[in-house]
Amino acid sequence: MCFVISFGIEPGTSLGMDDVPKGQKAKLETLRALLACIVNSVSLAIFLFMPGGRTWIDYACMIGFGVSIGALICYLGGLLAIDSVPKEAAGAGLGLVGIASYLGAGLQDLISGHLIEKFQSGSGLGARYDFTSVSLFWVGA
């Protein structure tokens, strides 16, 4: 079922492309990123907290998440890094954004693992997990 996210990433990346006239560029890119953040958070929250049994809503949330994450990766990982440094330092700007992304992903992994273990009851094959706190962290991040 997770393959559905892939259907949204390509259109999301296309939405993040650099096709804005120079005078309105910063304002329009910021609005696109804000809209993508909202769609991302809402899609993830609905996917995590809606009761099961509505497959089409799950698919719609995954596509919304894929579109928004594609746009955010393009905007934050590329356009913002390149636009915020001189052309001679574009590679360094992209490298710094990449390093920060890996550090953030590692920190998120550590925090998620801690929250999952903290709210575990039992052990072995009979272990039960409460994902409420980690789901709130994921939506808030």
Q: Give me the average pLDDT of each 10-residue run along the chain (141 residues).
A: 53 55 67 85 90 85 86 76 78 82 90 91 83 88 76
Number of Cβ within a 10 Å radius of residue 121: 9
Verdict on whether the full-model pTM lies above 0.75: no
Find out whether 47 and 61 touch, Cβ atoms under 8 Å.
yes
Whole-number pLDDT of residue 77: 72
Tell me what pLDDT residue 26 has.
67
Q: How far apart are CA 38 and CA 36, in angstroms?
A: 5
Structure tokens at 103: 């550090």
Q: Is 125 left (phi over 0), alpha (psi -120 to 50) or beta?
A: alpha
Q: Which residue has the tokens 């998620």?
A: 112
pLDDT of residue 45: 92
Within 10 angstroms of residue 39's Cβ, the number of other Cβ atoms is 20
What pLDDT shows up at residue 42?
Answer: 92
**Exposed e or buried b for every residue in 89-101, given b needs 16+ CB within 10 A?**
eeeebeeebeeee
Residue extents of the structural domains in the chain: 1-84, 95-141
